[in-house]
Amino acid sequence: MNTTRIEGTVATGFESVRDEFAAFVTETDGQTGSQLAAYHHGRLVVDLWAGDGTGPDTLTGVHSVTKGATTLVTALLVQDGLVDLDLPVARYWPEFGRAGKAAITVRDVMSHRSGVIGIPGGFTVEELVDERLVADRLAAEAPLWRPGTAHGYAGFTVGALLNEVVRRTTGQTIQEVYAERVREPYDLDFHLGLPEELEPRYRDIRPWTATPEQEAAFAAYSPNPDGIAGIGYNLGERGFTPETVMTFPNARIVRATGPASAGGVASARGIAKLYAATIGEVDGRAPLLKPETLTEFTTIHSTGTNLVTGDGSPFALGFEAKGLIHPFLSARAFGHTGSAGADGIADPLHGIAIGYTRSLAAFAFDAPERGRFAAAIAGAAAGLGGEES
């Protein structure tokens, strides 16, 4: 019998979310070490956690949820008029224009349509934390498909590409702009570069547990390291195995530098507040993005078969198109998942923002409880009304 305590609070009207969270904790014997947080029209309405060693302030690696913060920084520069989505990347970063990449636009990169997703053999962890090195290597590569004709997820490299555009434009890195304009003014517990003094709050990502049969089935679907999917997933002799993908943020050098593709560290509160601040007023501060910028970045850009993941994972600009993934959300919903199971979601129409973390990596990178929690939160918010136009 599971005896894991469900800690935290929910606002009136969101009791069903606590019930769903408790059901999941029971099903998993409290082993996942999960946090769930949500805002509704700028107010924290869900703040839950459960599992040994997991508290409200626990931080853990959130992998590609990081891309939400990276995209937000890029959106701010577009909003400021410093970056034009439809100009070639080479306009900002001339060296990128080599090897058939002269016409690739910032929009192509952000919608995963550039064809520039990695290198044969992969990058080591030590290389991935040096985003200028990654950018230099990618600048020498030819696209793996004709840019703009298809999309393929650049899971470990898109942040380095955008970081070089940001650095060439502002003289600062994405991490520096994020800290200055987003994390510090909005007091977010979501870090691209975790200070040493916050290290005691970090909890390692634990590799998934599976039966031999499950592991064999997973291995049977592992892509060829030299193919498009393998390059996109950074496999190969220098790259990742499934276990090292999961434990990537456990290396202090990753947490310290916060690579813009997948090196972020956060709590669920921090993720939820980031998205709440993106779409609306929080703590008396204006939304980070203007309506026209939000519309631009949440417009669907990439659908159909993803050449890396092999599924139909749809993208807006930088963000996943959450409204196509979860039919109970509006068409404008956006966010980003992380490979160990973390998630971030915003739905401007319903005024909701969600953050979720877990320290036990989800088997085969699949955490179906994310959809359950999002459905419960969206349902509770709908019951209270108050949609925005």
d(CA 48, CA 22): 10
Residue 157 domain-assigned (yes or no):
no
Q: What is the dihedral of CA 297, 248, 181, 91, to 10 degrees?
A: -60
> Average pLDDT for residues 23-48, to the nearest whole number?
97
Query: How many folded domains does the chain comprise?
Result: 1
Residue 314 — pLDDT band, cuts 50, 70, 90? very high
β strands within the chain, DSSP E: 7-10, 34-40, 43-50, 60-61, 190-191, 265-266, 334-337, 343-347, 352-358
Residue 115 domain-assigned (yes or no):
no
d(CA 310, CA 315): 14
Beta-bridge mates of residue 356: 36, 343
Other beta carbons within 10 angstroms of residue 15's beta carbon come to 12
Residue 158 domain-assigned (yes or no):
no
For 151-178, b/e burial (b = at least 16 CB within 10 A) is bbbbbbbbbbbbbbbbbbbbebbbbbbb
**Residue range(s) defining the domain that contains residue 36:** 6-68+178-386
Residue 288 domain-assigned (yes or no):
yes
Residue 95 — pLDDT band, cuts 50, 70, 90? very high
Judged on CB neighbours under 10 Å (0-12, 13-18, 19+), 149 is: exposed
User: In residues, how long is the chain?
Assistant: 389
Query: What pLDDT does 144 receive?
Result: 98
Residue 386 — pLDDT band, cuts 50, 70, 90? low
β strands within 97-237, DSSP E: 190-191
Residue 107 domain-assigned (yes or no):
no
Query: What pLDDT does 210 receive?
Result: 85
Element (H, E) at 378: helix 369-384
CA atoms within 13 A on the CB side of 369: 26
pLDDT tens digit sequence for 2-35: 678 999 999 999 999 999 999 999 999 999 999 9
Is pTM, for the whole model, over 0.95? yes
Beta-bridge mates of residue 97: none
Q: How many helices (H) and strands (E) does the chain have?
A: 17, 9
Q: What's phi and psi for 292, nearest 5 deg?
A: -70, -35
Query: Percent of the chain scored above 90 by pLDDT?
Result: 89
Q: How far, CA to CA in Å, does 344 sit from each of 31, 122, 125, 241, 307?
A: 21, 27, 24, 25, 23
pLDDT tens digit sequence for 115-129: 999 999 999 999 999
Q: 7-10 and 190-191: which strand pairing?
A: unpaired
Query: What pLDDT does 212 receive?
Result: 87
The CATH number given to whatever domain includes residue 358 is 3.40.710.10
Residue 387 — pLDDT band, cuts 50, 70, 90? low
Q: 60-61 and 343-347: which strand pairing?
A: unpaired
Residue 152 domain-assigned (yes or no):
no
Angle at 202 between CA 201 and CA 203, to 5 degrees: 120
Active-site residue flag, 339? no
**Active-site option among 34, 64, 330, 359:** 64
Contact yes or no for 191/59 (Cβ under 8 A): yes
Residue 227 domain-assigned (yes or no):
yes
pLDDT at 389 over 50: no
Residue 188 domain-assigned (yes or no):
yes
